[in-house]
Amino acid sequence: MAGQGEEADGNGNGNGNGAEPDQPAADSVRVVSAHTVMPLWTGEQGGEARLMLTTSGAAPVEVWWRQLRPGEEYPSHPHQAGAVETVSVTPAG
């Protein structure tokens, strides 16, 4: 499973994107803070949406980190038939 910005090269060598050899292999795990991933959406009040993880295959998975400020909404495009969406709401602290 490759994290955002990582791709397998098909041979299990490196991450296939021309990065240095000491970069994580595609089958390794890379832990990152949500704030180190660039936002793909920014709301008028400062809310953000960041794509934290993607997988490919017959049942692809996307893990998003979203923060909505008061008065904001994040419009979503329709998913494929059979897609499951799970939401965890955490109050601001």
Q: Give the pLDDT confidence of 17-36 residue by residue, as tens digits.
A: 444 556 656 677 788 888 89
For residues 26 and 38, membership in a common domain is answered with no
Nearest to 53 by CA among 82, 31, 22, 68: 31
Residue 3 in domain: yes
Do 2 and 25 lie in one domain? The reply is yes
Residues 25 and 44 reside in one and the same domain: no
Q: Is the pLDDT of residue 12 over 60?
A: no
Where in the sequence is the domain holding 19, given as residue range(s)? 1-31
**Residue 11, domain member (yes or no):** yes
Q: pLDDT by residue (tens digit) across 34-69? A: 889 999 999 999 999 999 988 888 888 888 899 999
Do both 39 and 22 map to the same domain? no
Who wins on pLDDT, 37 or 75?
37
DSSP for 29-59, please give it: -----GGGSPPSEE-TTS-EEEEEEE--SSS
17 and 1 belong to one structural domain:
yes
